[in-house]
């Protein structure tokens, strides 16, 4: 048995195992979605994502293109920490999160809503063409769907909140609204998701845009 010790070799072998396992299960990924789906499986070791990740038409290409000189706003600092800054810097892209902002916290308390909801409102106001990545708060995804219905046009919605309350409903609403409005979206349908999944999707898009899908390109 070959022993893998170098990070790049470990990642390559992991991706090879993912590809073999998908083939064994009879799953053939659309080429446009493969990098995102495999990155999420690599992060979670959960092959359900091969079936539950939903992509609007051309979402990966448009999302990757938006990272060139763009902005990514996450709904948690955990997701922000998981985004590969070097890949984004290569693209001239910034990553932000407003969850720890004092004004966001104050407004959320005053209105009796989540900080994630207020942070997404701020993201839309300050960066209307940003990639918005929601991995934790379905309230934020629902608010984002309302904003899109009212005319907001983010570059991409990554909607992968995790949990049991309003989670599946928020994703179904986001799918309907984004599809109807022509806003690109990548959504994890069902209850699964989380900040690590949001970061994984951001990274897959960044690696695609920056030509860094091979881990050797990130050394």
Active-site residue list = 42
Segment holding 79, helix H or strand E? helix 77-82
Residue with tokens 């407004």: 107
Q: Give the phi and the psi of residue 13 in degrees, each rounded to 5.
A: -65, -40
Q: How far is CA 181 from CA 26, 134, 140, 162, 177, in A?
A: 33, 19, 18, 24, 6
6 Rama sector, left if φ>0, alpha if ψ -120 to 50, beta otherwise: beta
Show contacts of 174-182: CB within 8 Å, 24+ apart: 174/141, 174/142, 174/144, 174/145, 175/54, 175/56, 177/145, 177/148, 177/149, 178/56, 178/145, 178/148, 179/56, 181/148, 181/149, 181/153
């Amino acid at each position: 048995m070959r022993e893998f010790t170098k990070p790049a070799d470990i990642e390559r072998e992991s991706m090879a195992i993912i590809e073999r396992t998908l083939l064994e299960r009879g799953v053939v990924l659309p080429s446009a979605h493969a990098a995102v789906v495999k990155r999420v499986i690599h992060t979670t070791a959960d092959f359900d994502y091969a079936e539950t990740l939903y992509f609007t038409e051309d979402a990966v290409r448009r999302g990757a293109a938006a990272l060139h000189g763009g902005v990514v706003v996450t709904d948690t600092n955990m997701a922000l920490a998981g985004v590969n800054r070097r890949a984004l810097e290569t693209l001239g892209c910034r990553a932000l999160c407003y969850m720890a902002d004092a004004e966001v916290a104050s407004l959320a308390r005053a209105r009796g809503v989540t900080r994630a909801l207020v942070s997404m409102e701020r993201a839309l106001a300050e960066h209307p063409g940003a990639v918005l990545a929601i991995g934790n708060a379905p309230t934020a995804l629902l608010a984002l769907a309302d904003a899109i219905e009212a005319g907001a046009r983010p570059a991409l919605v990554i909607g992968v909140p995790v949990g049991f309350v309003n989670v599946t409903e928020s994703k179904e609403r986001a799918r309907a609204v984004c599809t109807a409005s022509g806003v690109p979206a990548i959504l994890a349908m069902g209850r699964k998701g989380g900040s690590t999944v949001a970061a994984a999707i951001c990274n897959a898009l960044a690696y695609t845009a920056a030509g860094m899908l091979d881990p050797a390109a990130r050394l």
